[in-house]
Amino acid sequence: MTEGNFVDYVKIYASSGKGGKGSAHLHKEKFILKGGPDGGDGGRGGHVIVRGDKNLWTLFHFKFKRHFKAEHGGDGSKSRSSGKFGEDVYLDVPLGTIFRDIETNEIIFEITQDKEERILIQGGKGGLGNWHFKTSTNQTPRYAQPGMPSEEGEFLLELKVLADVGLVGFPNAGKSTLLSVITSAKPKIADYPFTTLKPNLGIVKYRDFRTFVVADIPGIIEGAADGKGLGIRFLRHIERNSTLLFLVAANSENIKKEYDILLNELKLHNPELLDKSRLLAVTKIDLVDAKELAKIKKKLPKDIPHIFISSIAQQGLTELKDKLWEMLNPS
């Protein structure tokens, strides 16, 4: 998936179908002049239904089609025949998609399960046929109900990627490289800041055929919560992660300071992120010698467990996966 194909915000217009009219038909036969009312009910208008699809990872399919309209219900007819229901319209979305009302910005619902269905807009109810209105004093009602009108609205779709572990770090901390090594994901990797321009997901194959999902987001810089850099746009994606893996390069000037900055940016974005389990991975240890590594250990923050890894040299990766699995599945 290219950067241009990753779409996590989109506005759509949707309209349900209106209900069909009830029939005011009076039954007639050759030798029956006053057969009474037999007008059928109108059919329900089509719903606009949202459906979760675990195979989708982006809202890209809404990029070129943003207007959706369900079918109107059919009118009732004679012999109490009801009109057909209008055909429903289904909007398939990736798991983690939130629907907001554009006018109020309130969350309507969110989709988190595969094949989960929620009605976004209900179709209009069909009108009742005239046979419903027959009484002892009104044997031949010549009226029926009209169908209920359709409803419409504009909605904002917002995707929050669902993953078990979220990678948090400055640009060039080695997040994409780690993802490419421990999963089958193929993120863009280069030696310059902001190589990652979109979230990348990868599935880690663990022991005994068990797996967990890791998400890499664009690097965070100081001031990200205020709109600097690229990370702020994607910070919401780690709101779904149960564990946060902080990555700081071993050749960083001040590992503790970088970690504190990252932690503060998460706090400014959403204080609840600090309630998640956290692990600090000191990356690129192949770039420093044993003496320098010993100095680094003494200066690490005390309030978070740590691990030393090198994605290039394949050091510490098994221990990292073991630790993450343990954090995701506490006994």
Task: Identify the band that residue 186 occupies on the pLDDT scale cut at 50, 70 and 90.
Answer: low
pLDDT reading at 195 higher than 80: no
**Torsion 292-293-294-297 (CA) sign:** positive
The confidence band for 224, taking pLDDT boundaries of 50, 70 and 90, is very low
220 and 237 in a single domain? The answer is yes
pLDDT of residue 4: 47
3-state secondary structure of 313: coil
Reported confidence tier of residue 320, pLDDT bands at 50, 70, 90: very high
Domain C-terminal end among 131, 159, 187:
159
- pLDDT value at residue 215: 83
Give the Cα separation of 220 and 194 in Å (integer). 9
Q: Is residue 48's pLDDT more than 90?
A: yes
Domain count, the chain: 2
Q: Are residues 3 and 117 in the same domain?
A: yes
Strands across the sheet containing 9-15: 67-69, 9-15, 152-159, 97-101, 107-111
Statement to judge: residues 119 and 188 lie in one domain: no
Average pLDDT score over residue span 46-70: 92
Q: What is the CATH number of the domain that holds 246?
A: 3.40.50.300
Residue 322 has pLDDT above 70, yes or no: yes
Enter the pTM of the model: 0.69
Tell me: do 105 and 219 sit in the same domain: no
| Length of the chain as a residue count | 331
In sequence order, the 6+-apart residues with CB closer than 8 A to the CB of 73 are 17, 18, 19, 20, 42, 43, 44, 45, 46, 83, 84, 85, 86, 123, 124, 126, 147
Q: For residue 197, give the H/E element and its range.
A: none
The 10s digit of each residue's pLDDT in 83-117 is 999 999 999 998 889 999 998 989 999 999 999 99
Q: What is the chain's Cα-based Rg?
A: 29
Q: If you average pLDDT over residues 164-176, what whole number do you get?
A: 85
Which one of 134, 159, 184 terminates a domain? 159
Q: What is the pLDDT of residues 137-153, one digit of tens each?
A: 888 898 999 999 999 99
Query: Which of 159, 175, 192 is the endpoint of a domain?
Result: 159
For 51-77, what is the mean pLDDT? 92
Identify the residue whose tokens are 């009312």.
37
Mean local confidence (pLDDT), 217-237: 56
Identify whether residues 189 and 320 lie together within a single domain: yes
Question: Residue 234: pLDDT band by 50, 70, 90 thresholds?
Answer: low
Domain that holds residue 133: 1-159
What pLDDT shows up at residue 6? 63
User: Which pLDDT score is estimated for 155?
Assistant: 96
**In this structure, is the dihedral angle defined by the CA atoms of residues 254, 302, 244 and 318, taken in order, positive or negative?**
positive
- Note the pLDDT tens digit of each residue in 268-286: 888 888 899 999 999 999 9
DSSP per position, 62-109: GSS--EEEPPPPPPPBTTTBPPPPPPPEEEEE-TTEEEEETTT--EEE
Angstrom distance (rounded) from CA 12 to CA 184: 33
Q: Is the same domain home to 23 and 155? A: yes
* 306 and 183 in a common domain: yes
CATH of the domain at 31: 2.70.210.12
pLDDT of residue 256: 93
Distance of alpha carbon 206 from alpha carbon 323, whole angstroms: 11
Mean pLDDT of 70-74: 97
pLDDT at 245 (0 to 100)? 95
111 and 154 in contact (C-beta within 8 Å)?
Answer: no
Task: Tell me which residue of 317, 326, 7, 8 sits closest to 174, measured CA to CA.
Answer: 317
For the stretch 237-277, pLDDT in tens is: 777 788 999 999 999 989 999 999 889 888 888 888 889 99
**In this structure, which amino acid lies at residue 86?**
G
